[in-house]
Chains A and B, each alone.
Chain A
C-alpha cells in the first residue's frame, strides 16, 4: 500500500478544457516508459475539476500521492509530466515550485463543505465509491427506520431551505405536499441551472450524481411519490450521461425501482431534458415543460405542492437542496442546524466569478461576511484594482456596494440590501465596471429569456432595457432615473413569476447605490468607469505614439491620420467610439475620457 503511487487528474468539463486528458495520457505514457507498474492513474475524477476542488483558475490540478502523502500541483500541462514522474514519483523529490501555495490552502480552509465534500474524492461513475462514503445509508435509514412524517420532521428541524433561490423551508414544503389527498405524488429535481456563469448544479450532478438520487429517494419517501423526474439542461451532456449511469446502477442495486431496501416503497426516476430556457427553472414553467407544453409559468396559488405535475401534488427541489439531504439524515438535524446562521442553516455553494483572483466554486457556512468570501477565499480583486460592488443571485440579483461589505451572506442578509441568494451566483465588480452598463447587461438577459406571457415582464423589461440603453448611449433624459425606478417597481410588483418579479433588481439596486453614475451618464454625458463607448472621447498622446499605424488599420471609419513614425491624430467628428484603436495600440498611446 505504501509503495502505491496514485495520480489524480481532474477530467471534468473544466479539466478537459484545460488539457486534462492530455495530461492524463502523458502520465500513462511516462509510467509505461519508466516501467512503473504500481502506479494508478485515476480518472479522479473525470469529474469537473471545479467540482472537485472548486479552483478552476488553476487547472489542470493534479494530485500525486506517494506512500500516502499527497501533493497538489497546479497549472499542469502534458509537457510537465515527464519531470513529475521522474522527480516525484520515482525520485521521491516533489517539484515544489509547481505545487499549490498558501492561497490555495486559504481558498479551501475557509470553506465548509457538505454538498461539495465528496466531489473530487470519489469517482462519480462508480456506485461502489459512493457506497464507500456511506452512500445510500441515509435513504436506507429513512425507509427502514423512519416514517414519512418523521423524515419530514427531521428535515423541518434541520432548518434546510430551498437552495434554488426562493429559500422556502424544505420540510415545510414537503409537509404541505404530503397533506394532500391524492392517488399520485411526484418529486422533481430541478437541475435546470440557467443563470449565466452558474455551474454549481452541474458540478454536483457531474461530481456526485448518487447524492442527488439519494436525496430524491428521501424526499419521495417523505411525500409518497412513486415517480420522480430530473429536469436537466440538454446542454450538460456529461451531467446527463452520469445521471443516466447513476440511475441505471441504482436500479440494479435495488436503490431505485420496486421495494426499496426491502420496504414496500417504489420509486422510478426519469430524466427529462430541458431545452435551455431560463424561465424553465421556475417551477411552474418547469412542470409545463415536463407535461410537454411550452415552458410558461402558471399562476400560484395553487402551488405545485398542492397541484403540480399533471395536477397532482408535486415537490420540486433543487440539486443542491437534495444533495444536502443524505448528510442531514446521516448526521442528524441538529448537526445541520448548528451550521450557519439563525434563520439560514447549513452551507451554500457559490460560483465566485468576476474581477477576483481566485474564481471558482466554493461552499460557505451561511452567514459568512461578504468580505471574507471576496478577500479571503477569493483572494481580493484582480490587478489590485478597487472593489466596487458584488452582484449576487444571478441575473436577477442586486448589486451590493462597498458600504455593505460586512453583510452576512444568507437569505435575509442579501434580501435586506435589495439583492438575493438566488442559486448562488456571485460576480465581483471593480472600478472599471460601469454600473449602468452592468444593469443593462442583466436586463438584456432577462428580457430575452422572458417567456412573454405576462405584460409587465414581456414589455416592462423591454422598456427598462430601452431606457438603460439610451442612458448608456448618451441619450438619457432628465427624469429617466425616476422613470426607471417607477417602472422597475411596477414590474417587480405585478409580474407573474419569479423571473419578472426579480428582473428589476439590478436596476433598482444600482440606482440605489450608484445613482451618481446614472446622473453622470445623463447630465454630464460621461461614463465614470469609461465603459460606455458612446460617451467617450478617444485621443492619442503624442509623446507615447510611435506612428506604427496599427490604429489606422484598426479604424473602420478612417478617423485616424498621421505620417509614418510621426504621432497620429483622431478626428473626433468621424470617430464612432468603437474602441478598436484603443485595443490595437501596443504603446498605450490611445486614451479615452
Chain B
C-alpha cells in the first residue's frame, strides 16, 4: 500500500493507483472533462490538475501515479485560477446556444461554466465554424461544440476496436474527424455519443425531444441479444425518447447500435392494440374485447383437449419474454392441459 496525504487527509491506496483515483477514494473531487475510468488516462483537459509537494508545476491527477509519501493539494488559489482559465478558454470557442442544445442539463462544460461563474469571457475571439455533413441516421456531429477531450476517439479505439474517428490538423484548427473527413461510416454503436461531455455528439433520434421536464428514467434490461445489457430508458408520457446505459453496470455502459438506437419499434404505429378474432377459417380478423377473445381461446383449446386428448394441444413460449411469463405459460400447459408439449425457439 502507498500512503498519501491529500488535502490533509491520509489515504492508503494500492500500487498502480493514480492520484485522481486516490483523491476520489479520499472522498475528494476535482473537475474533469477528458477523463473516463473505463479508458486510459489522457491528460488533455488540464482540469484535474493538483499540486504535489516537490513538483515545480501543477500536474494532472488523472495521469500521475500515486507514490508513497506523496503530499497532494487539490485546491488552491493558483489551481482555481488555472482551472477557471481553462474553462474560459473552452467557452471562448464554444457556441453559447445552450437554450437550443440537446445536451443542456447533461453537459459537463455547461456545468463547469456554471460552477466557475463565467458570465464574461476575457478571451473572446475567433470561433471555429465547421460545416455539418453527416447523413447517417444515428449520430449527429456538431464539431463547433467539440472540446477535443478525445473521449470519442479513445472509446472507438480502445473499447470498440474500430477507430472510425481520429484527430486531424494542428493548433486551433485541430479537430476530430472520420478518415479524410468523410461522413461517419461505422458500427454506430454510439459509444462515442455516450462519452461526449458536450453536445458535439448526439443521437439523431433525440433531436427535438424533451430534455428534462416530464422525462422519466427507468432502469431495465435490453430486449435484444443474450448479452443482457443494463439500459436506462427515458420516456415522456408513453413515448420512449432515449436509451442510455450507466457506466457502473456489468456492461460498463457500453451498448450496440440496436440496444442504443433500435427502440422506435416500441412506439410503432404498427403495434397491435386490440384483440383480433377470425371467426371462421379463411375469414378476416375482427376486433374483439378482451373478454370475448380470452373466453374464445379458453373454450376452443379446452374443447380440443376434451375431444382429442391432452397432447393435441401445444404451446410455444418466448425467448423474448420474461421468466415469470414463461413460467406461467408452461404451468398453464402442464396444469391446465396436462401436456408437456411446450417448447420455444432456443433452437433457432
Contacts and interface: CB of A to CB of B under 8 A. Distances in A.
A458 interface: yes
Contact of B44 (A454, A461, A462, A486): A454
A453 B166 contact: no
Nearest to A297: B43
Interface stretch (A12-20, A326-334, A488-496, A551-559): A488-496
Which of B43, B45, B172, B175 has the largest count of A CB atoms less than 10 A from its CB?
Answer: B172
Interface stretch (B85-93, B241-249, B273-281): B85-93
A461 B90 CA distance: 12
Nearest to A501: B57
B64 A301 contact: yes
Interface in B134-165: 147-148, 150
Given A456-B89, A490-B81, A493-B58, A462 B126 contact: yes
A459 interface: yes
Contacts of B173: 452
A451 interface: yes
Interface stretch (A231-239, A383-391, A442-450): A442-450
Nearest to B153: A294
Contact of B82 (A279, A458, A493): A493
B49 A466 contact: no
A455 B44 contact: yes
B66 to A, nearest CB: 11
B46 A277 contact: no
Nearest to B126: A466
B119 interface: no
A312 interface: no
Which of A454, A455, A486 has the largest count of B CB atoms less than 10 A from its CB?
Answer: A455
A303 to B, nearest CB: 11
B46 A458 contact: no
Nearest to B49: A494
B307 interface: no
B41 A455 contact: no
A460 B64 contact: no
B177 to A, nearest CB: 12
Given A448-B171, A449-B170, A462-B172, A455 B89 contact: yes
Nearest to A453: B44
B63 interface: yes
Contacts of B191: none
Contacts, number: 113
Q: Is the interface of B mostly helix, strand, loop or mixed?
A: loop
Contacts of A453: 42, 44, 148, 150, 167, 174
B93 A454 contact: no
A133 interface: no
B171 A449 contact: yes
Contacts of B92: 459, 463
B298 to A, nearest CB: 67
A477 B169 CA distance: 32
Contacts of A450: 170-172, 174
A496 B173 CA distance: 18
B125 A463 contact: yes
A483 B85 CA distance: 11
Nearest to A497: B43
Nearest to A486: B85
B123 interface: yes
Nearest to B62: A299
Contacts of B166: 294
A180 to B, nearest CB: 14
B347 interface: no
Interface in B55-96: 57-60, 62-65, 78, 81-82, 85-86, 89-90, 92-93
Contacts of A458: 148, 171-172, 174
A589 interface: no
A463 B86 CA distance: 12
A487 B123 contact: yes
Interface string B81-114: 1100110011011000000000000000000000
Contacts of A486: 85
A298 interface: yes
Contacts of B167: 294, 296, 451-453
A91 interface: no
Nearest to B150: A453
A21 to B, nearest CB: 36
Contacts of B122: 483, 487
A35 interface: no
Interface residues of A, number: 35
A302 B65 contact: yes
A487 B171 contact: no
B85 A456 contact: yes
B143 to A, nearest CB: 13
A274 to B, nearest CB: 14
A299 B85 contact: no
B46 to A, nearest CB: 5
B73 to A, nearest CB: 14
A460 B92 CA distance: 10
Contacts of A496: 43-44, 46, 60
Which of B44, B45, B58, B86 has the largest count of A CB atoms less than 10 A from its CB?
Answer: B44
A494 B43 contact: no
B125 A493 contact: no
Nearest to B172: A462
A460 B93 CA distance: 11
Contacts of A298: 43, 63
Given A296-B167, A452-B169, A463 B43 contact: no
B326 to A, nearest CB: 49
B170 A448 contact: yes
A459 B172 contact: yes
A163 B282 CA distance: 91
Given A294-B167, A301-B64, A456-B46, A490 B82 contact: yes
B277 to A, nearest CB: 65
Contacts of A300: 63
A452 B45 CA distance: 11
B174 A452 contact: yes
B170 A452 contact: yes
B86 A455 contact: yes
A501 B166 CA distance: 25
Which of A296, A452, A454, A494 has the largest count of B CB atoms less than 10 A from its CB?
Answer: A494
A462 B86 contact: no
Contacts of B169: 452
A71 B169 CA distance: 51
Interface string B168-188: 011111110000000000000
A447 B170 CA distance: 8
B90 A455 contact: yes
Contact of A299 (B43, B82, B175): B43
Nearest to A445: B171
B322 to A, nearest CB: 47
Contacts of B85: 456, 460, 486-487, 490, 494
Which of A452, A460, A461 has the largest count of B CB atoms less than 10 A from its CB?
Answer: A452
Interface in A286-315: 294, 296, 298-302
Which of A302, A454, A463 has the largest count of B CB atoms less than 10 A from its CB?
Answer: A463
Contacts of B81: 490
A441 to B, nearest CB: 15
Nearest to A298: B43
Contacts of A501: 57
A298 B60 CA distance: 11
Given A301-B65, A451-B174, 18 more contacts: A294-B166, A296-B167, A299-B63, A301-B64, A448-B170, A449-B170, A449-B171, A452-B173, A453-B44, A453-B148, A455-B44, A456-B46, A458-B174, A460-B89, A466-B125, A493-B78, A494-B58, A495-B46
5 contacts: A449-B171, A451-B167, A452-B167, A455-B147, A460-B85
Interface of A: 277, 279, 294, 296, 298-302, 447-456, 458-463, 466, 483, 486-487, 490, 493-496, 501
For the complex of A and B, list the 10 residue pairs with the smallest distance between their C-beta atoms, beginning with the closest.
A452-B174, A299-B43, A299-B63, A459-B89, A490-B85, A463-B123, A466-B125, A462-B172, A450-B171, A494-B82
